[in-house]
Amino acid sequence: MTVSIVGTGYVGLTTGALLAAAGNKVYCIDVDSKKIETIKKGRSHFYEPWLDKLISEAIKSKKLIPTTRYRDAIPQSEIAIICVGTPSKGDGSVDLSYIYSAGTSIQKYMIDDLVIVQKSTVPVGTGRRLERILKNGAGNKKFHVVSCPEFLAEGSAVFDTLNMDRVVVGGDSEMAKQKIIRLLKSIDEFSKKIDTKKFTKYSKIYKNKIVFHNETPFKDRILSVGLESAELIKVTANAFLTTKISFANSIARICDQTGADILEVMEGVGRDERIGKSFLYAGLGWGGGCFPKDTAGLIYHADEVGFDFKILKAVVDLNNSQVLYVLRKIHRILGADLEGKKITVLGLSFKPGTSDVRISPSIRLVNNLVRKSATVSVYDPKALQEAKADIDGSVYYAKGIADALKKTDLAILATDWPELVDLDFKKLKRVFKKPNLLDARNKWDKEQVVKLGYKYFGVGR
């Protein structure tokens, strides 16, 4: 098939590169010419494991065509997939202007029976409004709006797209939905020709067990629903995942007061098949470009339809206080006055496997430490440059792990990159001023580091 993808962020570029790898002709449209020039050189403009190789191969094969011009892409395409940003406004509502702008631009050049796919995460009702906007200038041309939400996670976007656990398609036209299903099936068929196990590095961090869904027949993973249902499925899934994390953080606070270990507690809870182990982890809280926006948007939309979403509001409130909870732990370790104390924060991206620092709990922690006049050293394998714009005040951007830990009073694991979890603590101990470890992701081996002479502090353990 020939497809246009509007927006070259994590969703759009990953989807486009894999559709091209699967043999489709893909136009990637973005109004940012710098991003397009980077893609033309066979690279992504952000860090996502394995994506550069896919882009490079797709560019060489001429299956992936980056462009800033809708007129070069839309008239050639059977399907147009909207993957633009939907940022949060100050009041919690979602800014849909990029969605509607993309729709208007598509409308100018669309062919008859074009299938317009809404892949960006949006509030319920967005698809219907998009239909109305498109009808105003479509003339006699037919078009079909379909919602096909993405379920990939940054850091494991390639694996998640190759290994779709479900394919949700929502809309009124059965023909349009079947066309999308055939398109995505091409990725599933491609996944069976390669070794998908090599793409699981960062998926393992948050999933108790890696399931290879592509071993299940594709037809059994399809859920065909109404347009509104598809839109609500995605935001509901994200809201529920944030609820699991905040619930674990709540129980961790009880563990801190009672001597229970949050890892042992959640292991026991997660073995209940009705609950499951995924996302029952305590730490600094959740952030990124999706969870905060989607929870705020769902709360706002619920208020609009007359429902006070108290549970989700409590989830957000707990998460907003989690960094301050960890900050209080730092004071208990180093004292009330942090001035002159060197604190090393390891990890700045909101999660491992990505350079994305949007609403990163790690950066919130760094900024709080700077305001407390601590001497702060930071290190991240991929997100140092991206973090600089969001960090307030003066910090030391270390060149490596040992450099970051030099003469430190406290090392904090803020983002659980594998290379920051699997440290040579025996070798590194000599560079510490005081061997204090605050494991804000509960990933360091407590027993091992205590035997080596470190003082270990976790969240709920």
Q: Whole domain around residue 429: which residue ranges?
A: 239-458
Contact 84, 52 (CB under 8 A): no
Q: What is the pLDDT of residues 258-298, one digit of tens each?
A: 999 999 999 999 999 999 999 999 999 999 999 999 999 99
Q: What is the pLDDT of residue 209?
A: 66
Instruction: Report in angstroms the alpha-carbon separations of 251 from 55, 188, 254, 256.
Output: 43, 39, 5, 9
253 with 371, same domain? yes
Q: What is the pLDDT of residues 405-461, one digit of tens each?
A: 999 999 999 999 999 999 999 999 999 999 999 999 999 999 999 999 999 999 999
Q: What is the pLDDT of residue 203?
A: 65
Q: How far apart are CA 67 and CA 59, in angstroms?
A: 12
Q: Which residues of the chain have pLDDT under 70?
A: 201-209
Could you give the strand order of the β-sheet that contains 410-413, starting from the edge strand earlier in sequence?
Answer: 396-397, 375-379, 342-346, 410-413, 436-439, 455-458
Among 227, 261, 292, the domain boundary falls at 227
291 with 422, same domain? yes
Q: What is the pLDDT of residue 211?
A: 79
Residue with tokens 């079947």: 178
What pairs with residue 394 in β-bridges? none
Residue 233 lies in a domain: no
Q: What is the pLDDT of residues 391-416, one digit of tens each?
A: 999 999 999 999 999 999 999 999 99
* Nearest CA-CA partner of 12 in 38, 56, 44: 44
Choose, from 28, 83, 148, 290, the residue flagged as catalytic: 290
Residue 232 lies in a domain: no
Among 227, 262, 283, the domain boundary falls at 227
What domain count does the chain have? 2
CA 200 to chain CA centroid, Å, is 15
251 with 110, same domain? no
118 with 197, same domain? yes
Residue 345 lies in a domain: yes
Q: How far apart are CA 84 and CA 262, in angstroms?
A: 38
Decide: helix, strand or coil at residue 46: coil
Angle at 163 between CA 158 and CA 168, to 5 degrees: 105
Q: What letter represents residue 355's amino acid?
A: S
**At what angle are helices 33-40 and 51-60 packed, to 10 degrees?**
80
Category of 340 on φ-ψ map: left (φ > 0), alpha (ψ -120 to 50) or beta: left
Q: Residue 448: in which H helix or E strand, if any?
A: helix 446-451
Active site residue 290: yes
148 with 243, same domain? no
222 with 320, same domain? no
The CATH number of the domain holding residue 343 is 3.40.50.720
Q: How far apart are CA 316 and CA 158, in angstroms?
A: 29
251 with 211, same domain? no
Q: What is the pLDDT of residue 136?
A: 86
407 with 371, same domain? yes
Q: What is the pLDDT of residue 208?
A: 56
- Residue 448 has φ and ψ, to the nearest 5°, of -65, -50
124 with 205, same domain? yes
Residue 426 lies in a domain: yes
